[in-house]
């Protein structure tokens, strides 16, 4: 669920723009996978010569797997190279932490980093870090909760091309249409005019990954349904055993004049309390397990996940699971409660006394 959330968050990047990538690249929201690099100058020039284009922003998007990643196919951080004048058009109005500032020109060695990376490596404004043998000066730390930008190093495009050895090349060009031009019409014009590229609207970028996300969500719902059914059976079984062991007590209560529904309320109250206590413990241990797994999968220290626990386990999801757990336990107590109500007092007392 966390990974699907991260992918969906990428929608905020390049919002309202057409993305141009290599013909054979696959774009997952904003992340290009596979394909070749595009020659920056010639591609941007051809795009700008296409009718309906307001602006074209070349972007270099690089993923890093890290040196100790548990799962080698899972990126642990990202690097974005963007022309300085176009940072806001790509990133949007994302603020920086106190005392930070964005790079001033394309020829500088100034960079901005995500808060998760900064916290992990104790980077602050003014820290000089080494990336691929180049010394880079951290001039700002993003103040964002977006997962992708949390783990990003953002730098001027020319600097990124030098650091990652992609001279004059990019893998994304973000194209903004004029107000009276639709994304669909501009996409069709770009694909027809320029060879070996693939222009995608925001909807088309979503269509690539949407079937996968739907499959994941369907499996998630199916797994939850199976777990709930198993849990319901377990609660009912435990409650039946409890009622069976205390049938003499229930029969005695009935014999001294307790109301007919008293035993029913007693059993339901017990299962209700089990649901509350179990829900609290489940959320606590479940949240801890979630951040431990996230730390193992990404090789990010577990302490960095505690401040963002409410992002990994959203409050709404916690409330849903807690409520479902309490309702499930109450339902599991219905059959044992009815069984306790229907027991024959005389037979129980004769057998147990």
Which pLDDT tens digit goes with each residue over 194-237?
Answer: 888 998 888 887 776 777 777 877 888 888 889 888 988 888 88
In this structure, what token pair is assigned to residue 315? Answer: 């409050």
The residue whose two tokens read 């080698």 is 72
Round to whole Å and give the CA distance between 60 and 162: 11
Residue 289: C-alpha distances to residues 14, 219, 221, 294, 314 (Å): 34, 20, 20, 9, 15
Do both 179 and 264 map to the same domain? Answer: no
The pLDDT assigned to 298 comes to 64
Do both 103 and 165 map to the same domain? Answer: yes
3-class SS shares of the chain: helix, strand, coil, % to 5: 55, 20, 25
Reported as a single tens digit per residue, the pLDDT across 303-326 is 777 777 777 778 888 898 899 889
Spatial contact of 182 and 199, defined as CB atoms under 8 Å apart: no
The pLDDT assigned to 70 comes to 36
Do both 187 and 243 map to the same domain? Answer: no
Q: Long-range contacts for 117-126 (Cβ within 8 Å, ≥24 apart)? A: 117/77, 117/150, 117/151, 117/152, 117/153, 119/304, 120/300, 120/301, 120/304, 125/97, 125/99, 125/100
In this structure, what token pair is assigned to residue 305? Answer: 């996940």
Last residue of a domain, one of 134, 167, 200: 200
Best CA proximity match to 150, nearest among 117, 103, 126, 187: 117
**Local confidence band at 37 (pLDDT 50, 70, 90 cut-offs):** very high
β pairing state of 128-131 and 110-113: unpaired
Structural domain including 215 reads 209-352
The average pLDDT across 270-297 equals: 86
β pairing state of 77-82 and 53-64: antiparallel
The pLDDT assigned to 253 comes to 73
Do both 175 and 227 map to the same domain? Answer: no
Residue 59: C-alpha distances to residues 131, 157, 196, 292, 318 (Å): 19, 7, 17, 34, 38
Q: What end-to-end distance do the CA atoms of the chain give, in Å?
A: 56
- Say whether pLDDT at 74 is over 70: no
Is 351 or 301 the better-scoring residue by pLDDT?
301
Round to whole Å and give the CA distance between 131 and 159: 11
**Local confidence band at 11 (pLDDT 50, 70, 90 cut-offs):** low
Round to whole Å and give the CA distance between 95 and 89: 14
**Local confidence band at 3 (pLDDT 50, 70, 90 cut-offs):** low
Round to whole Å and give the CA distance between 124 and 62: 23
Q: What is the DSSP letter of 96?
A: B
Is 50 or 294 the better-scoring residue by pLDDT?
50
**Local confidence band at 247 (pLDDT 50, 70, 90 cut-offs):** confident
The average pLDDT across 112-134 equals: 88
Mean pLDDT is lowest, of 229-238, 255-264, 323-332, for: 255-264
**Local confidence band at 8 (pLDDT 50, 70, 90 cut-offs):** low
The pLDDT assigned to 350 comes to 58
Last residue of a domain, one of 200, 229, 261: 200
**Local confidence band at 348 (pLDDT 50, 70, 90 cut-offs):** low
Mean pLDDT is lowest, of 70-79, 123-132, 165-174, for: 70-79
Do both 155 and 256 map to the same domain? Answer: no
Count of structural domains, the chain: 2
Do both 234 and 188 map to the same domain? Answer: no
In sequence order, what are the beta bridge partners of 32? 27
Q: What is the DSSP letter of 17?
A: S
pLDDT cut 70: percent of the chain above it: 88
**Local confidence band at 66 (pLDDT 50, 70, 90 cut-offs):** very low
Do both 232 and 145 map to the same domain? Answer: no
In sequence order, what are the beta bridge partners of 169? 39
Round to whole Å and give the CA distance between 272 and 259: 20
In this structure, what token pair is assigned to residue 72? Answer: 């080698």
pLDDT cut 90: percent of the chain above it: 20
Reported as a single tens digit per residue, the pLDDT across 134-186 is 899 999 999 887 777 888 899 999 999 999 999 999 999 999 998 888 888 89
Do both 191 and 97 map to the same domain? Answer: yes
Do both 155 and 221 map to the same domain? Answer: no
Last residue of a domain, one of 153, 170, 200: 200
Do both 49 and 96 map to the same domain? Answer: yes
Do both 184 and 258 map to the same domain? Answer: no
The pLDDT assigned to 139 comes to 93
Do both 121 and 261 map to the same domain? Answer: no
């Amino acid at each position: 669920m966390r990974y699907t959330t991260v992918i969906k968050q990428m929608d905020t990047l390049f919002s309202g723009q057409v993305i141009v990538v290599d013909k054979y690249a696959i774009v997952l929201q904003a992340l290009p996978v596979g394909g070749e690099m595009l020659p920056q100058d010639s591609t941007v020039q051809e795009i700008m010569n296409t009718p309906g284009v307001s602006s074209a922003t070349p972007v270099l998007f690089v993923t890093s797997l890290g040196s100790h990643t548990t799962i080698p196919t899972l990126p642990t951080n990202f690097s974005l190279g963007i022309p300085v004048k176009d940072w806001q058009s790509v990133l949007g109005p994302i603020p920086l932490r106190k005392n930070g500032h964005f790079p001033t020109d394309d020829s500088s060695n100034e960079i901005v980093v995500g808060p998760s990376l900064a916290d992990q490596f104790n980077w602050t404004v003014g820290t000089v870090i080494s990336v691929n043998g180049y010394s880079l000066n951290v001039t700002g730390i993003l103040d964002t909760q977006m997962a992708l930008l949390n783990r990003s190093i953002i730098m001027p495009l020319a600097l990124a091309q030098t650091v990652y050895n992609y001279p004059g090349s990019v893998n994304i060009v973000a194209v903004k249409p004029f107000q009276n031009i639709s994304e669909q019409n501009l996409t069709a014009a770009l694909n027809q005019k320029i060879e070996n590229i693939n222009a995608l609207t925001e909807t088309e970028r979503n269509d690539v990954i949407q079937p996968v996300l739907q499959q994941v969500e369907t499996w998630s719902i199916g797994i939850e349904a199976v777990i709930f059914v198993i849990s319901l059976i377990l609660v009912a079984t435990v409650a039946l055993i409890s009622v069976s062991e205390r049938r003499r007590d229930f029969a005695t209560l009935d014999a001294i004049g307790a109301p007919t529904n008293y035993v029913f309320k007693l059993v339901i109250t017990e299962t209700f309390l089990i649901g509350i206590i179990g829900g609290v413990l489940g959320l606590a241990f479940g949240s801890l397990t979630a951040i431990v797994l996230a730390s193992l999968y990404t090789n990010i220290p577990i302490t960095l996940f505690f401040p963002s626990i409410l992002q990994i386990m959203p409050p709404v999801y916690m409330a849903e699971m807690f409520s479902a757990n309490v309702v499930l336990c109450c339902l599991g107590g219905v059959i044992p409660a009815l069984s306790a109500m229907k027991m024959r007092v005389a037979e129980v007392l004769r057998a147990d006394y």
